[in-house]
Amino acid sequence: MVVLVLMGVCGCGKTTVAKELAIRLQCPFKDADDFHTEENKKKMNSGIALTDQLDRGFTNWCGDLLRSETKLQGHSIIRLWISYHFTHQ
């Protein structure tokens, strides 16, 4: 079982690559942006960067998703962005 996580800055092509990989590898694709709160989506659309404090629920969700995906049989592709601070704790 493989869980492939694509991370990178906004607009670098993560979603495009992830969707194509999911098609070619015949596995599920999950876009982490679908799981942001409406409040955080509005902030991001307004150009407001999410701090770790604002983004805490989302980063917790990412951890939960990765843990649950590794328990499943098969493969998954997850497109997400995680803040520098979260990845270096």
* pLDDT tens string 48-89: 877 766 566 676 777 777 777 766 655 555 565 544 434 444
The rounded radius of gyration (Å) of the Cα atoms in the chain is 13
Q: Which domains does the chain have, with CATH numbers?
A: 3-87 (3.40.50.300)
Residues β-bridged to residue 29? 77
How many CB atoms are located within 10 Å of the residue 77 CB? 24
Question: What pLDDT is stored for residue 13 in this prediction?
Answer: 85
The pTM of this model reads 0.58
Q: Residue 65: CB partners within 8 Å, gap ≥ 6?
A: 30, 32, 35, 78
Write the pLDDT tens digit of every residue in 10-48: 778 888 888 888 888 888 888 877 777 888 888 878 888
**Token pair in block for residue 70:** 């590794």
- Give yes or no for a contact between 17 and 77, defined as CB atoms under 8 angstroms apart: no
